[in-house]
Amino acid sequence: MLESFAFSIVDSSLTEWIQLSYWLWPVLEIIHFIGLSLLLGGLIVVDLRMAGHFRTLNLAATHKLLPLVLVGFGLNLITGVLFFYGDPLRYSVNIGFQIKMVLVILAGLNTLIYYWKIKPMMVTWDPHADSPALAKFVAYASLSVWTGVLLCGRLIPYVGTG
């Protein structure tokens, strides 16, 4: 499915523009890195606090970082799509990219659990008590999955086609 989509866009004007723009790819890399820093930097604080660490930090205050996390995700989504368009045949068959996309989907599902189950419960938490088990699971799952996304992203240039 991904490979057939890649074949359908390989000759697109967007792909050609990305490939022919000398400075575009490095600029996209920089923006992608900034997005990743915002995304993971914010999530590390939020998730570790939600898991019960750093109890001196106000739980609600750490969640004020979530808009920055979303900005980081947005930057990575836009630049990631442009990377794929820039070299669709390479990315579509790359095992590192494929695993990364599966992990991003898992991260999205984990986020839904957070919004449906954890966020409504947070108003009743004692800030000095231990975090509920589900909150710890969601927090550690988030940290694990996003670390996997980071690692797989770095492996894309070095791993083969599956």
- Please state the domain extents for the chain: 2-155
Asked if residue 82 lies in contact with residue 38, where contact means CB atoms within 8 angstroms, the answer is no
| pLDDT one-digit tens code per residue, 106-162 | 999 999 999 999 888 887 887 777 888 999 999 999 999 999 999 999 999 898 765
Q: Is the pLDDT of residue 89 over 60?
A: yes
Mean pLDDT of the chain: 90
For residues 105 and 94, the answer to whether their CB atoms sit within 8 Å is no
Any residues with CB less than 8 A from the CB of 111 and at least 6 apart, and which? Answer: 142
DSSP at 54: -
What backbone torsions phi and psi does residue 101 show, to the nearest 5 degrees? Answer: -65, -40
Distance from C-alpha of 14 to C-alpha of 130, rounded to nearest angstrom: 51
More confident residue, 161 or 30: 30
How many contiguous H segments (helices) and E segments (strands) does the chain have?
Answer: 9, 0
pLDDT, position 161: 67
Q: Are 51 and 84 in contact (CB under 8 A)?
A: no
Element (H, E) at 98: helix 95-113
Structure tokens at 33: 């890195």
Decide if pLDDT at 2 tops 80: no
Yes or no: say if 117 and 132 are a contact pair by the CB < 8 Å rule: no
